[in-house]
Amino acid sequence: MAQVTVRKVVEGQSHLVLRVDMLSDGTGELADYIILSPMELNPPIPNDVPAFRIMQAWYGLVHFDVTLKAGTIIPSVLWTIAKDCDSHTDFRSFGGLIDANVYNKPPSDDNGKLTISTSGFNVAGSAGTIVLELRKTNQASA
């Protein structure tokens, strides 16, 4: 089975930095693999609301691409990180990438989770790391 490790590097009141390490054993692709659930935030946010904006991404991928998705049972695509591209992408100039449901009433199946899917990860030895800077969008009432 593929190894995926997700670690919080930093978590503050309004931001979060995640590190995602991936190593393939050749058994297949990752499909909508959950890397962040709103309930894992401090303080926890209910699972039915969008919870973050992606502000920046740093990455190094060998043999595969990763698609970041958010939202519903069938997640919407936020961004695809290609294996042969620049190793840093900055979304801060326009406020970050966000689940579009933040701007309207979320559909009943919106779970606020951040997921990844891969393409090319089925090759044994494929490895990569993604570091994401996230801005929290919803805070629990104090």
Query: Does a structural domain hold residue 141?
Result: no
Query: Does a structural domain hold residue 52?
Result: yes
**What is the SS3 assignment for 50?**
coil
Task: Find the mean pLDDT for residues 50-62.
Answer: 92
DSSP code at position 30: -
Q: At 98, which CATH number?
A: 2.60.120
CB atoms within 10 A of CB 107: 11
CA-CA distances (angstroms) from residue 64 to 23, 83, 117, 129?
Answer: 11, 6, 10, 11
pTM greater than the 0.85 cutoff: yes
Amino acid (one-letter) located at 90: D
Predicted confidence band of residue 140 (pLDDT cuts 50, 70, 90):
very low
Q: What is the pLDDT of residue 81?
A: 96
- Beta pairing class for 97-98 and 113-119: unpaired
Query: Does a structural domain hold residue 36?
Result: yes
DSSP character string of 105-126: PPPTT---EEEEEEESTTSTT-
Query: Does a structural domain hold residue 116?
Result: yes
DSSP code at position 38: G
Query: Does a structural domain hold residue 142?
Result: no
Domain that holds residue 20: 3-136
Predicted confidence band of residue 49 (pLDDT cuts 50, 70, 90):
low
Tokens standing for 106? 């979320």
**Does residue 130 register a pLDDT over 60?**
yes
Query: Does a structural domain hold residue 96?
Result: yes
Query: Does a structural domain hold residue 9?
Result: yes
Q: What's the total number of domains in the chain?
A: 1
18-29, pLDDT tens digit by residue?
Answer: 999 999 999 999
Query: Does a structural domain hold residue 114?
Result: yes
